[in-house]
Amino acid sequence: MGRTLAIIKPDAVRKNIFGYIISAIEEAGFRILAMKYIRISTEQAAEFYAVHKEQPFYKDLIEFMTKEKIIPMVLEKDNAIEDFRTLIGNKNPALAEEGTIRKKYGETVTYNSIHGSDSLENSEKEISFFFSKSEIMGNCTG
Ligand code: ATP
Ligand code: MG
């Protein structure tokens, strides 16, 4: 089984539609191993997106990710990382494939409703950024 880190972003929380996104995730065969509903600090968001710190969109991204609560989740499935990237679609909702979460709920490349880890290395880093081992364990799949 593989794992990935997903985050339902502030735009989806603000629109009061995160339940639909969680349903789509379950329908696609992912099991939610851990989940939080939290507002992160500027420092946390800056650290999470540190790889983008030289990008022109960095400041807006940090501001966006801290303006409302978010829902980080650890998801489990065969081929989790790749299958979840397929489920969410292109980071620009206008370019996202029909039936993807970003196509359905995203608005712009910043307000794109959801995040998914892009590699095994980053998924491990991102999972431990939000969750301790004991928070992930304890469900029926172990
Ligand atoms: P995510 O990491 O959120 O799944 P991604 O891997 O598809 O998205 P990245 O290139 O890693 O996209 O960028 C991380 C996030 O930064 C994007 O999801 C988006 O919110 C924001 N972002 C990326 N590129 C741009 C851009 N050109 N303009 C504005 N925001 C951007
Ligand atoms: Mg990314």
Rounded distance between C-alpha atoms, residue 2 and residue 109, angstroms: 27
pTM for the whole structure: 0.94
Domain presence at residue 141: no
Burial 108-132 (b: 16+ CB within 10 A, else e): eebbbbbbbbeeeebbeebbeebbe
Domain presence at residue 142: no
Which DSSP state fits 50?
A: G
What's the total number of domains in the chain?
1
Q: How far is the CA of 135 from the centre of ligand 2 (A)?
A: 24
Domain presence at residue 123: yes
Ligand nearest to the CA of 110: 1
pLDDT grade for 137, boundaries at 50, 70 and 90 = confident
Q: Which domain holds residue 83?
A: 2-135
Ligand nearest to the CA of 111: 1
- pLDDT at 140 exceeding the cut of 80: no
The pLDDT of residue 141 is 54
- Pick the residue whose CA is nearest to atom 10 on ligand 1: 91
The pLDDT of residue 139 is 59
Domain presence at residue 29: yes
Rounded distance between C-alpha atoms, residue 111 and residue 64, angstroms: 8
Domain presence at residue 84: yes
Looking at the chain, the whole-number percentage of residues with pLDDT higher than 90 is: 96
Ligand 1 pocket test: pick from 48, 91, 112, 119 the residue with the most ligand atoms within 8 Å of its Cβ. Answer: 91
Secondary structure of residue 58 in the 3-state scheme: helix
Q: pLDDT for 20-50, tens place per residue? A: 999 999 999 999 999 999 999 999 999 999 9
Residues in the chain, how many? 142
Q: Give the CATH number, domain containing residue 104.
A: 3.30.70.141
CB of 61 closer than 6 angstroms to any ligand 1 atom: yes
Distance of CA 72 to the CA centre of its chain: 6
CB of 91 closer than 6 angstroms to any ligand 1 atom: yes
Domain presence at residue 40: yes
Domain presence at residue 140: no
State mean pLDDT over 94-116.
98
